């Protein structure tokens, strides 16, 4: 499935959109984690510099979404963000998601898929 993208951006496939959302989620999580590390883990304030850059990257990546409206792009992205956050929990923070995390993430990802892929009339 190919859909028109933002002006100046080539058409993107649904798979490309998923990759874009995962990249945006990683950038957002990394940016927010830098604040978490500084505030909650007592890391240096220098952690905030790459965090700000990461959050700017997140916003730019999400703006490349092929959704016809920003709110719809953000809503569909939310499910991908939740699943990616649980991956971060597991890989970076070394905590396995429990079954409730996984069930909740599956529900959110299904909702994101419905929002992103639903047939819409003109």
Mean pLDDT by 10 residues, the chain (122 residues): 50 76 96 96 97 97 86 90 96 96 96 88 70
Q: Could you tell me where the beta strands, DSSP code E, fall in 1-122?
A: 2-3, 12-13
How many angstroms from the chain centroid is the CA of residue 34?
A: 16
pLDDT for position 9: 53
Can you give the pLDDT at residue 80? 92
Distance of CA 53 to the CA centre of its chain: 16
Alpha-carbon span 33 to 60, nearest angstrom? 18
Q: Is residue 5 part of a domain?
A: no
Instruction: Look at residue 22 in the predicted model and tell me its pLDDT.
Output: 94
Total count of residues recorded for the chain: 122
What range does the domain containing 47 cover? 14-117
Q: Considering the domain boundaries, does residue 4 fall inside one?
A: no
Number of structural domains in the chain:
1
Looking at residue 1, its pLDDT comes to: 43
Q: Is residue 9 part of a domain?
A: no
Task: Please compute Rg for the chain using Cα positions.
Answer: 16
């Amino acid at each position: 499935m190919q859909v028109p993208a933002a002006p100046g951006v080539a058409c993107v496939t649904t798979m490309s959109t998923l990759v874009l959302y995962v990249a945006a989620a990683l950038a957002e999580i990394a940016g927010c984690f830098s604040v978490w590390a500084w505030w909650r883990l007592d890391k240096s304030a220098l952690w905030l510099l790459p965090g700000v850059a990461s959050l700017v990257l997140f916003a730019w990546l999400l703006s490349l979404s092929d959704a016809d409206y920003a709110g719809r792009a953000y809503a569909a992205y939310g499910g991908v963000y939740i699943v990616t956050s649980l991956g971060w929990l597991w890989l970076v923070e070394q905590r396995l998601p429990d079954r409730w995390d996984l069930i909740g993430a599956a529900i959110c990802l299904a909702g994101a898929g419905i929002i992103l892929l639903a047939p819409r009339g003109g």
